[in-house]
Every structure is written in C-alpha cells, then in structure tokens.
C-alpha cells in the first residue's frame, strides 16, 4: 500500500516542525523530523512511502498535486502547525478532490491540541493522529490495508458517518531504539543541503536521541501536547551508531544537531554518550539543546566528544518572570553555566523570550542587559508565542490577552514570527519592536564585534556558517520585522504563499 507523508507548501522555507513554526530571519530551515521518523516506521513495516517536503524543495500546490496524481497514495499524512492550519486543510481538501478514496490524516501539535475543532474545518479531513504519531499512522495504514476498524487504533480522532470518535490515547514510545535512524530516511527521500540551522555548521543532519521533557516551562509546546513530560531516551550505543552511520553515509556533513527538547536531562546518559563518542574517535562536531544548568565536568566531556555549541533557553533576565513561566532556574545558576561553558570551550546560543506573564518595559530591559552581560556566541529574541494546549495559551486566554482567534495571524505577512499577545503596558507591536531593537543592540556592540572577530580568526571553519546566516539575517537587523513596503491589506490571500496561493480580491 502507498502512503504519502507530506510537509505541504506554505511560505518558502517555512519550518513547521520547529517549536515556534515560521520563516526565520537567519534562514534556518528545519528538517521535517517527525514526518521522517514516521516514514521510517512505515517503511520498516513494508509500506511504499514517499516523503515530500514542499517548503524545502520549492514545490507549490500544483507540483504537489502532480506528485499526488503520479504516486496515487491510499493514505496521505499531512504535517500541520498553528499558523499554517487553514492553508494545510485547504491543501488536504485539494488532495481529496483528486483522490476521493484516499484517507487523509493530519498530524502535529496544533491538531493534537484541537482534534475535534480541526475535524470541523473541512469534511475532507478523515483522521487526526494525536501526539507522537509514528506507530499511530503505521497502525492506521495496517487497518486500511486489512479493512480493520479505526476504533481499534489508539491515539486518533476521526469522523465516521457524520459522528466524531476519539480513541484512547496512545502510550508514549519507550523503546526508541526500535525506530529506524532518521538519517536513513533523509538519505532516501531528502536533499541534505536543503536544510540549514544558523547555529550549526553547514551542511548538518538533525537527529533526535530522546523524547519528552520533565521540566514544566509554560510556553513549550512539544512536552505539553505532543511528547509528554516523561523523558524517554535511545541507548547510548544506538546514538553513537547513528553518528557513525552519518559519518560514513554523508562524508560532506559538518555537524550533527541533536534536537531533543533537552539533551542533558539525564546527565549520566549524556556522559555515557560522550565517553563512547570519544572512544570511537568521533570526528563530526555536534550541537544540542540544553538547559543552563549543565555542570563543568559534563561540559568538558561534551567538548572532548565533539560538542561545539549548546542552544539554551535563558528566556528572561528577571527572576520573577522565570518563576512565572516555571523555568526552574535561578539567574545565578545561569551565569555560572555561561562561565563554565566558556571555560570548557563550548559555544552557547542564547534564546530570550519576551511578553511573558508579568513582563513590562522594565523587565524587558533587564532581559536585554542580561543577554549582553552573558554575551553568548549568538542570541535570538522572540515574542511569546502561545500555542493551543500550552499553559501559556490558557493563561493568555483567561486574561483576555490573545488579540485574534485567527491562527494565520501567528505569523506576519512574510511568514515571520508575530505576536498575538498584548500585555498591560505592552502592545504586540511593542514586543516585536523590542525584539528588533534587542537584536540590533546585541549584535552591533563593539564587544560583540571583537569577540566574534577573534573567534573567526581562531576558527576559520565558523566563517561559512556565520556568512550564510548573516546573508538573510542582516536585512532584518537593519529594517526590523515590518518593512515599510509591506502591504497593509488584511485579506489573508494577500500574504505570500498563504491559503495555497490564491489571489487577493
């Protein structure tokens, strides 16, 4: 049986699978990771699968329709996100027009949080696979092939004869070693060079070594609506085996990005992986997501094993704000982490979030001052993005802080991150303008120029990554989020790539 796994067209280089889906100012484009893992599971079970990543491959709606016609799948799995949901549903409906007997399945955090609401958007949607869907779509494919009952498939919401059914939640996957290497799926279906992470050396390969996160940050969507709070991990041996596979299969790859929510949750496992990588004489540098609480001993082991950089969510320079968002970190501990990382020779990319519960103009300035004092290798400043299913979304709704129920407004007309939250004394425009100013003040400091120049002189290999990210980032650094030439038309069809490319009337 044929199955199409589709990352549908929207904005060019739109990253659905990043935690805040959007087009990025740095040119970063995420791999369709979860679709790729599901593709691997389906292929492992004997299904004929085609993975299409339209935003990366430059496919518009017509190209995707031609692929659908030629491939003729019996099931189509469509990735979705909050800002693209209306677009994704329309594309699903177009596919259903071409193949009316095809079973359409929507996946992703947004539909996991709002399955029934999503099913009501269009009768062309047959099934919502909630949460972690690797085995859910496999079991759906098995049921389709054998004529089985969808009610026996855990983790789905579906419509049958006008009635919506919700089956029992699917338990999260504990044996992650049983899932095929995602890098094997990339090799078969994707072009590695289409993808770029501004914080990683290019070209890079993204993998997941563990799922779920035990921390309770109110804004983080994946642990709350997709993978749960229990941390589940691949064995150290399995992770190192994939490192070796990548080195052999993609000798041109410069870096591996470990995209776990928090790679360093289990410190002993982290050290075990580092020890095995060191013993295997690993030659590929790697980057990972971490919390700003990693101890110096672990940082040294990570550096010795090839870790070049850690992506860390600092979020705020005000302790009360960190407490409000349940970050579980003290400013003092964050400062020590940055000091230890520098001592260990591990670079840090710092993420700063504004518009949180309790934020005001003064706390925003504290965050900017904190970012400058920490002086990470790179920094990003984002407005709070509240997604359905998160505690942050519930708070914003209860306080009447969400400006629009139109999910397409979660991004700007260019597909960039937008703010739909307005705090007392801080409008959504204030938050976006602050982020623009914070980026300028952070990157245009003499101290930053000096430190970055020294780094590039010591490590010329960083030059290619820096130049590639600055190519797109610089225009936003100069002009901000909203260019003066931007159309003021509020019609959603006026947005490039929105609503499957229809003209504005």
* Tokens found for residue 64: 């995707």
* Tokens found for residue 120: 């009501």
Q: Tell me the mean pLDDT in the region 480-495.
A: 35
pLDDT value for 27: 87
Domain identity same for 110 and 245: no
Q: How confident is the model at residue 487 (pLDDT cuts 50, 70, 90)?
A: very low
pLDDT value for 51: 98
Domain identity same for 289 and 409: yes
Question: Number of folded domains in the chain?
Answer: 2
pLDDT value for 53: 98
Q: How far apart are CA 387 and CA 401, in angstroms?
A: 13
Domain presence at residue 222: yes
Domain identity same for 157 and 205: no
Domain presence at residue 185: no
- Residue 124 phi, psi (nearest 5): -70, -15
Domain identity same for 288 and 403: yes
Domain identity same for 97 and 51: yes
pLDDT value for 459: 64
Give the helix ranges, DSSP H, for 153-220: 182-189
Q: How far apart are CA 470 and CA 381, in angstroms?
A: 16
Domain identity same for 329 and 248: yes
Domain presence at residue 190: no
Domain presence at residue 57: yes
Domain identity same for 131 and 243: no
Percent pLDDT > 90 in the chain is: 86
Q: 435 is in which domain, residue-wise?
A: 197-479
Q: How far apart are CA 238 and CA 243, in angstroms?
A: 9
The DSSP output letter for 172 is P
pLDDT value for 449: 75
Q: How confident is the model at residue 463 (pLDDT cuts 50, 70, 90)?
A: low
Summarize pLDDT for 366-385 with one digit per residue, the tens: 999 999 999 999 999 999 99
Q: Tell me the mean pLDDT in the region 164-177.
A: 97
- Residue 55 phi, psi (nearest 5): -60, -30
pLDDT value for 501: 31
- Residue 22 phi, psi (nearest 5): 180, 175
Domain presence at residue 63: yes
Domain identity same for 300 and 396: yes
Summarize pLDDT for 290-316 with one digit per residue, the tens: 999 999 999 999 999 999 999 999 999
Domain identity same for 369 and 307: yes
Q: With 80 as the cut, is the pLDDT of residue 452 above it?
A: no
* Tokens found for residue 115: 């399955």
Q: What CATH number does residue 346 fall under?
A: 3.80.30.20
Domain identity same for 409 and 260: yes
Q: What CATH number does residue 17 fall under?
A: 3.40.50.2300
List the Cα angle 137/139/142 in 5-degree steps: 110
Q: How far apart are CA 15 and CA 346, in angstroms?
A: 27
Domain identity same for 24 and 86: yes
3-class SS string, 411-468: ECCCCCECCCECECCECHHHHHHHHHHHHHHHHCCHHHHHHHHHHHHHCCCHHHHHHH
Cα(first)–Cα(last) distance of the chain, in Å? 41
Percent pLDDT > 70 in the chain is: 89
Domain identity same for 321 and 401: yes
Domain presence at residue 317: yes
Domain presence at residue 58: yes
Q: Is 109 exposed, middle or buried (0-12, 13-18, 19+ CB in 10 A)?
A: buried
Q: How far apart are CA 320 and CA 330, in angstroms?
A: 10
pLDDT value for 60: 96
Q: How far apart are CA 351 and CA 1, in angstroms?
A: 43
Q: Is 405 exposed, middle or buried (0-12, 13-18, 19+ CB in 10 A)?
A: exposed
**DSSP secondary structure string, 93-142?**
HHHHHH-TTSEEEEESHHHHHSHHHHHTT-TT--EEE-SS-HHHHHHHHH
* Tokens found for residue 141: 């494919």
Q: How confident is the model at residue 321 (pLDDT cuts 50, 70, 90)?
A: very high
CA distances from 30 to 192, 204, 459 (A): 11, 11, 25
pTM: 0.90
User: By three-state DSSP, how is residue 348 classified?
Assistant: strand
- In 3D space, the residue among 259, 346, 261, 316 whose CA is nearest the CA of residue 28 turns out to be 259
- Residue 201 phi, psi (nearest 5): -65, 145
Look at the chain and count its residues: 505
Domain presence at residue 345: yes
What is the side-by-side order of every strand in the sheet holding 255-258? 204-207, 255-258, 285-290, 307-315, 347-354, 378-383
Residue pair 105/78 in contact by the 8 Å Cβ criterion: yes
Per-chain mean pLDDT for the chain: 91
Q: Tell me the mean pLDDT in the region 22-34.
A: 93
Summarize pLDDT for 176-188 with one digit per residue, the tens: 999 999 999 999 9
pLDDT value for 500: 33
């Amino acid at each position: 049986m044929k199955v199409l796994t589709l990352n549908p067209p929207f904005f060019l280089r739109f990253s659905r699978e990043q935690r805040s889906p959007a087009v990025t100012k740095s040119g970063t484009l995420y791999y369709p990771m979860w679709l790729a893992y599901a593709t691997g599971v389906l292929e492992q079970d004997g299904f004929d699968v085609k993975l299409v990543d339209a935003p990366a491959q430059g496919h518009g709606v017509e190209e995707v329709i031609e692929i659908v016609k030629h491939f003729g799948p019996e099931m189509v799995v469509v990735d979705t996100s909050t800002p693209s949901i209306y677009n994704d549903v329309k594309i699903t409906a177009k596919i259903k027009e071409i193949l009316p007997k095809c079973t359409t399945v929507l996946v992703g955090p947004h539909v996991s949080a709002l399955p029934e609401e999503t099913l009501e958007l269009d009768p062309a949607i047959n099934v919502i696979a909630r949460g972690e869907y690797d085995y859910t779509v496999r079991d759906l494919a098995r049921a389709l092939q054998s004529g089985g009952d969808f009610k026996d498939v855990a983790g789905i919401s579906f419509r049958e004869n006008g009635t919506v059914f919700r089956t029992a939640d699917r338990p999260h996957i504990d044996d992650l070693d049983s899932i095929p290497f995602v890098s094997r799926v990339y090799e078969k279906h994707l072009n590695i060079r289409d993808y770029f992470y501004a914080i990683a050396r290019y070209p890079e390969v993204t993998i997941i070594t563990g799922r779920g996160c035990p921390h309770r940050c109110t804004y983080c969507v994946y642990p709350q609506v997709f993978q749960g709070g229990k941390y589940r991990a691949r064995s150290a041996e399995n992770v190192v085996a994939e490192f070796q596979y990548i080195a052999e299969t993609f000798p041109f790859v410069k870096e591996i990005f470990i995209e776990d929510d928090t790679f360093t949750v289990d410190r002993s496992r982290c050290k075990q992986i580092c020890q095995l990588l060191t013993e295997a004489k690993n030659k590929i540098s790697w980057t990972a997501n971490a919390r700003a609480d990693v101890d110096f001993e672990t940082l040294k082991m990570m550096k010795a094993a090839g870790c070049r950089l850690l992506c860390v969510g600092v979020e705020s320079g005000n302790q009360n704000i960190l407490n409000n968002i349940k970050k579980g970190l003290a400013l003092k501990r964050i400062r020590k982490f940055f000091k230890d990382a520098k001592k260990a020779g591990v670079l840090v990319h710092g993420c700063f979030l504004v518009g949180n519960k309790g934020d005001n103009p003064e706390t925003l300035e504290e965050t900017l001052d904190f970012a400058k004092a920490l002086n990470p290798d790179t920094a990003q400043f984002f407005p709070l993005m509240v997604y359905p299913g998160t505690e942050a979304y519930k708070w914003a709704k209860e306080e009447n802080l969400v400006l629009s129920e139109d999910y397409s407004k979660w991004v700007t007309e260019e597909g960039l991150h937008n703010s739909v939250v307005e705090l007392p004394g801080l409008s959504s425009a204030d938050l976006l303008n602050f982020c623009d100013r914070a980026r300028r003040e952070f990157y245009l400091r003499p101290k930053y120029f000096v430190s970055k120049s020294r780094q590039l002189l010591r490590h010329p290999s960083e030059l290619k990554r820096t130049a590639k990210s600055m190519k797109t980032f610089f225009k936003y650094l100069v002009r901000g989020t909203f260019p003066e030439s931007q159309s003021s038309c509020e019609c959603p069809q006026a947005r490039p790539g929105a609503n499957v490319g229809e003209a504005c009337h």
